[in-house]
A and B are shown apart, each in its own frame.
Chain A
Amino acid sequence: MAQSSASNVTHRSGVLPAGAVAPNFTLHVTPDQTLTLSDLLGRPVILAFYPADWSPVCGDQMALYNEILPEFRKFGAELLGVSVDGSWCHDAFAAARHLHFPLLADFEPKGAVARQYGAYRAVDGVCERALFVLDKKGIIAWSYCSPVAVNPGADGILQALEDLPK
C-alpha cells in the first residue's frame, strides 16, 4: 500500500525512483567540513530533503527524525538532512533543536544536488519534502515525495529499511 502510493507520487513529482544509482555529492556539513555521499558506502543512508530550517511547528520533520534516530540506527543507517539553507543557518538550527545528525547545505550552486535527485521546487527555490533510502551500494531502494505542506513522518523510511536485503 505504501509502495503503490509512493510510486504514484514518484511518477508525479519526478524524484529519482527505486533502482536508480544515487548521484554522488559533496556538501558542507559545517562551515568548514564537507561530507561526501560515497564515503558512506557499506551502510544504508537516509536522505531527507526538506524545504527549510526553522519551520514553526513543534515536532517538525527534522525534530521528529531526531527522536526516531535510535530506530534508524538499529538498521545501521545514516540519516542526512538536506536543504538549501547555508551551513551557518544549519548550525544554529541544529543547536537549537539538539539535532544529532548532519544537515547538509545544498547552498552553492543553490539546490544543485536536489535537482539531481528530482527534489527541487524551482517555483519556491527550495527542496521538496523528498525521502530516499539508499542501500549499502548506493542504489536507491525507496523514494517518496510528500506534498510540501505535509510532514511525511518516518513510517515509509522504517518500512524501506526493513525491506532492505540483509
Chain B
Amino acid sequence: MSSHKDDNKAIPRPLGFPSRTRQYWHALASKAWGKRLVLVFMAILLLALPRFITSHYWLRIIDIAGLYVMMALGYNLMFGYTGLFNLGFAAFFAIGAYCYAILASPLHEMHLPFLIILPLAVALTALVSYLLGIPSISLVGDYLGLVTLAFAEILRILVNNLKFTNASYGIINIDPISLPFFTFKTVRDYYYLILPLCVAAYFIIKRLEESRIGRAWLAIRNDEEAARTSGLDTRRLKLLACAIGVAPVGLAGAIFASMQTFVSPESFTSRETWLIIAMAIVGGLGNADGAVLGALLLIILPEPLRGTPIESARTLIYGLLLIFFSLFRPQGLLPRRHRAGEGETEQKA
C-alpha cells in the first residue's frame, strides 16, 4: 500500500531545475540516505570513542560490554528468535575461554597464534551446542532448559576437577592476542579488536534474522506445528539456531580469556547466564538492536554503584528486572517491529 503513495509523489516533474540535480537532492534527503548518514556518524563516534574516554577503567568496562553485546546477540537469536530456552549459556562462554586458555598459555606449553585459535574456539562452541542439540532439540521449552542446565553443571564439574583444565586453580598467564603484525596489549587495543567483531556479529545476525532462515526461525517460535506443516525442516533449523546462537559466545569467551590473562571456573557460574538472559529480555526479544541496548544498559548502568552497599544486590536486581519485564513489558524496551505483510498472530513473548 505504502509504495503507491511514493509513486504518486515521484510523478510531478520539477520545473526550471535540471532534473538530475533534483534527483540527487531527493536521494540525499531520502530515508535510505538518512539511515546511511546516521550509520556513518555512529561509526565515526564509535571509532573515536577512546579519544573521549581516556580512563582505562571505563574503556575496560566498555570492552566487557562489547563482549556481552555479542553474547546477548547470540541469546537473542536462540531464545528471542527461535524460542529455544537455553539455561546453560555460561557453559559456552567457558568453552570459548578455556579453548583459548588451553591453547595459548604456559599450562600445556602451547602458544598457538590467535588467528588459528579464534575459528577453532568458535567452531568448537558451535559444534558442542549442535551435538547437545541432537538428542534434546525436540524437547519443549522448559525441558530443553533443564538439559542445558544439566549440561552446564556437567561442564562445571569437569572443569573444576580435571587436570587438563588445571581444576579449580584456573589457568594463568594466558598469552595476549597477537596478529602477525600487531599485539593487543592495552584495553584501547582490545577496544579496536572488539568493536569490529561486535559490529560484524550485529550485522551478520541482523541479516540472518531478516533472511529466509530468520523468518523460518520466527515461524518455529510462533507455532512449531504450523511451521512444520508448511514444509519447514524444523529440526534442522533449530539445530542451526543452536550452533549459530552460541558462535558469538565462543568468540567472546576467547577474547575474554586473553583480556583477563586468567580464567577459572569462578568466572562462568550460572550468574553469567542469568545476566545474559536479563540483557536479552530487557532489551527486547527477537530484535538485535534490543540485545545491544540490553547488554550496554546492564553492564554500564550498574558501574557507578560499584563500592556502594547496593552492589551486593546486583544479581537481585537482575532477578527483579526479569519479573518486572515479564509482568509489565514482556516485549522488552525495543520490541520487534512487525514487517509488512506479517500478521498479528504472533505471540507476545
A binds B: no
Give chain A's interface residues, CB within 8 Å of chain B: none
Q: Which residues of B contact A (CB under 8 A)?
A: none
